[in-house]
């Protein structure tokens, strides 16, 4: 029976595990053995993992795969991908090889501005508030110099601060809307530290501002926090080739393939039900690289989906066209990423992944990640508009089903061969496995 516990965080790891397995599991020893099975045998490495988060009881593994043959701006990459979903790495690799022979991927960073806001309540005259902001703006920047010193040396820092009137949405609600350049750092801690200092200075200086009445001096700071919506931190990725080169490996001519592919993209541009799944496929590629490189995939997801809705309706992130006989498929996407700070200097596999990618700058990583998303979407749409998505996906899923039913090496070999020419479904695999086991018993 579940029960509450006081002081759980102060318990040792072994005591935490004892309480968990004794409270929630019918076989405490089996549960404990599974948790310990995933501990790292290197004590120092395990301690490093234990200290990433709170109340650690074990490690949770995801496969780390690679997709080779990505030609991006004339440089070849093998892209690391951490993901559990079958066929994602295979699809990315297939798309990379397809475009390798057609000039590869072209990318560029459009902008890298990030945003943070101080949200506050002010119940006085807006004209006075504007005058106060004009007076205090330089002081806001001055008071953050200890925080921004090193960032400014590298060419980054605070770009601007604006006063925004949001009283049409919430009574007496205003913002300090600040823009930042954080270079190779994702910059969350830097931005939040600046914002908290802005808030402190903004509130304190108001107490002695001559134009304010006593009540107007009482500015109520609600919160100070960066935004994961980064519509001005944009990267573009695209591929293009003559239409006739698209027909290779399909039962379609290049022209027919291009027409059907563009129609599929057009549907995702106007139909939210399709757009969500369409963009989820893009994020299969993006999230896998973001995870492998120690970045925050939740922040990326939130920002990307907000961007997909920026025109008032959720829509496709990718676009396609044919002009003058040239097929072009492209995407502009907001990505706030870092190659320094966070886990990038701590997690051994993250450091390995970044070295695999030629130790990229944040701008270079933005381009690589965008390409992974574009490639994934191309592969998915190519399957959907030709053979169908399940043919390739279920063949990749076959091994998961066989492992679920504890197939041995010989059974896996036999059934992999069998399903080269037969449709893979969950029930078909179980039936074939049972038949194989019955025949082997005779």
Residues assigned a catalytic role: 85, 280, 296, 393
Characterize 382-413 residue by residue with b for buried, 16 or more Cβ atoms within 10 angstroms of its Cβ, and e for exposed. bbbbbeebeebbbbbbbeebbeeeebeeebee
Q: What is the DSSP string of 267-316?
A: HHHH-HHHHHHHHHHHHHHHHHHHHHTT--HHHHHHHHHHHHTTTSS---
Q: Confirm if 365 and 339 have CB atoms less than 8 A apart.
A: yes
Q: Confirm if 201 and 143 have CB atoms less than 8 A apart.
A: yes
Q: Confirm if 415 and 436 have CB atoms less than 8 A apart.
A: yes
The tokens for 273 are 């039900």
Backbone Cα Rg of the chain: 27
The two beta strands, 326-334 and 318-323, are: antiparallel
The strand order across the sheet containing 220-226 reads: 157-165, 173-181, 114-121, 220-226
The tokens for 16 are 């935490």
Query: d(Cα 285, Cα 89) in Å, to the nearest integer?
Result: 8
Query: d(Cα 91, Cα 442) in Å, to the nearest integer?
Result: 41
Query: d(Cα 307, Cα 370) in Å, to the nearest integer?
Result: 14
- Only one residue has tokens 């006989």, namely 325
Give the DSSP H or E segment for 108: strand 106-109
Q: Confirm if 109 and 234 have CB atoms less than 8 A apart.
A: yes
CA triplet 132, 134, 135: central angle to 5 degrees?
65
How many residues are there in the chain? 442
The tokens for 431 are 């039936």
- Only one residue has tokens 């072209």, namely 106
Query: d(Cα 338, Cα 369) in Å, to the nearest integer?
Result: 12
Give the residue ranges of DSSP H helices in 51-175. 88-100, 126-142, 145-153
């Amino acid at each position: 029976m579940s029960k509450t516990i006081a002081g759980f965080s102060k318990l040792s790891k072994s005591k935490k595990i004892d309480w968990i397995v004794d409270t929630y599991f019918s076989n405490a020893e089996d549960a404990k053995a599974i948790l310990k099975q995933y501990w790292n045998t290197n004590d120092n490495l395990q301690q490093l993992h234990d200290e990433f988060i709170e109340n650690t009881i074990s490690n949770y593994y995801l496969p780390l795969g690679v997709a080779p043959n990505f030609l991006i701006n004339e440089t070849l990459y093998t892209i690391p991908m951490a993901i559990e979903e079958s066929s994602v790495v295979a699809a990315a690799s297939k798309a990379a090889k397809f475009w390798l022979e057609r000039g590869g991927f072209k990318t560029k960073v459009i902008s890298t501005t990030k945003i943070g806001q101080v949200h506050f309540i002010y119940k006085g005259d807006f004209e006075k508030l504007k005058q106060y902001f004009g007076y205090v703006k330089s002081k806001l920047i001055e008071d953050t110099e200890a925080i921004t010193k090193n960032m400014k040396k590298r060419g980054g820092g605070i770009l601007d601060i604006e006063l925004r009137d949001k009283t049409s949405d919430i009574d007496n609600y205003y913002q300090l809307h600040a823009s930042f350049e954080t270079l190779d750092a994702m910059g969350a801690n830097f931005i939040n530290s600046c914002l908290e200092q802005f808030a402190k200075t903004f509130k304190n200086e108001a107490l002695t501002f001559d134009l304010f009445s006593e009540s107007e001096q009482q500015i109520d700071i609600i919160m100070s926090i960066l935004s994961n919506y980064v519509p001005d931190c944009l990267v573009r990725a695209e591929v293009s080739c003559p239409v006739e080169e698209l027909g290779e490996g399909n039962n379609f001519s290049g022209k027919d393939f291009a027409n059907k592919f563009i129609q599929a993209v057009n549907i995702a541009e106007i139909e939210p039900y399709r757009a969500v799944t369409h963009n989820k496929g893009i994020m299969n590629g993006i999230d896998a690289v973001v995870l492998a490189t120690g970045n925050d995939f939740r922040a990326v997801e939130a920002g990307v989906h907000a961007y997909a809705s920026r025109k008032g309706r959720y829509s496709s992130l990718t676009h396609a066209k044919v002009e003058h006989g040239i097929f072009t498929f492209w995407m502009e996407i907001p990505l706030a990423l870092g190659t320094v700070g966070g886990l990038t200097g701590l997690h051994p596999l993250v450091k390995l992944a970044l070295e695999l990618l030629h130790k990229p700058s944040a701008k270079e990583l933005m381009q690589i990640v965008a390409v992974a998303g574009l490639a994934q979407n191309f592969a998915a749409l190519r399957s959907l508009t030709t053979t169908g998505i399940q043919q390739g996906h279920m063949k990749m899923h076959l091994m998961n089903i066989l492992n679920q039913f504890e197939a041995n090496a010989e059974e896996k070999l036999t059934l992999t061969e069998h399903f080269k020419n037969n449709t893979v479904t969950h029930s078909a695999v179980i039936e074939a496995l049972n038949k194989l086991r019955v025949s082997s018993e005779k």
